[in-house]
Amino acid sequence: MFEKVNPCHPDKLADRIAGAIVDLAYIKDSNPKIAVEVLIGHGICHVISETSVALNKENVHGIIKRIAGNVEVDYVEVPQDIHLANNQKDKIRCGDNGIFKGVPLTTEQKKLSKIARDIFNKYTFDGKYIINGTRLIICQSNASTDDLRKEYPDADINPIGDWTGGTDVDSGATNRKLGSDMADSVTGGGLHGKDLSKADVSLNVYCFLKAQETGSP
């Protein structure tokens, strides 16, 4: 069984906000040290950035509004610890730990990813999709169940009824959908909201891509 969520799921909104803030740090510094945590839901977005680069709060607020819409913003910025900063001053030292692996995507996982993309291209709202063998479950907010059934006649569509989705009815947090992002490659550590010196970003990405390239774990 495999679950996929689309970019407007609240957890993915949190990931996208965290990633965009990291991108902002890279605009200011070619080698920033930053980790961003986001919790969003019910009209408010809490963000904590531990960063070696001071970020313009107006730019941060703009990122959040662009991705999440009209929400109240609670932004806290914490300078990187001076000892950690000095430890990484002369060369890259990854202070993270974990067991990192890459696993090739299965046919089932690729199929569901394509279905998720196709539906999101038409309905740019919160959605979740599950495949288990021949059974496909589509949970798509702000969509016509009848229209979806025409395209996917054998799927279970919105089995508990039509819904509105989004952060008005659910909350989202950074790195809470790693299974959706990485399938069987999911490991320890968080993929989103961190600079590339973090092993749980760079090593996870490397292992995942290497597995797809070679076709082997």
CB atoms within 10 A of CB 142: 15
CA dist., res. 102 & res. 183, Å (int): 10
**Does 115 score more than 70 pLDDT?**
yes
DSSP 8-class letter at 158: S
- 97 phi and psi, to 5 degrees? -140, 160
pLDDT at residue 72, as a whole number: 98
pTM score: 0.95
pLDDT at residue 26, as a whole number: 98
Summarize pLDDT for 42-87 with one digit per residue, the tens: 999 999 999 999 999 999 999 999 999 999 999 999 998 888 777 7
Summarize pLDDT for 118-154 with one digit per residue, the tens: 999 999 999 999 999 999 999 999 999 999 999 999 9
Q: What is the mean pLDDT of residues 196-215?
A: 93
Q: Which of helix, strand or coil describes residue 38?
A: strand
Q: Which of helix, strand or coil describes residue 42?
A: coil
**Does 95 score more than 70 pLDDT?**
no
pLDDT at residue 189, as a whole number: 81
Percent above pLDDT 70 for the chain: 99
**Does 18 score more than 80 pLDDT?**
yes
- The burial class, CB within 10 Å (0-12 / 13-18 / 19+), for 48 is middle
pLDDT at residue 82, as a whole number: 80
Tokens 């063998």 sit at which residue? 133
Provide the CATH topology of domain 10-87: GMP Synthetase; Chain A, domain 3 (3.30.300)
Q: What is the mean pLDDT of residues 20-46?
A: 97
pLDDT at residue 158, as a whole number: 96
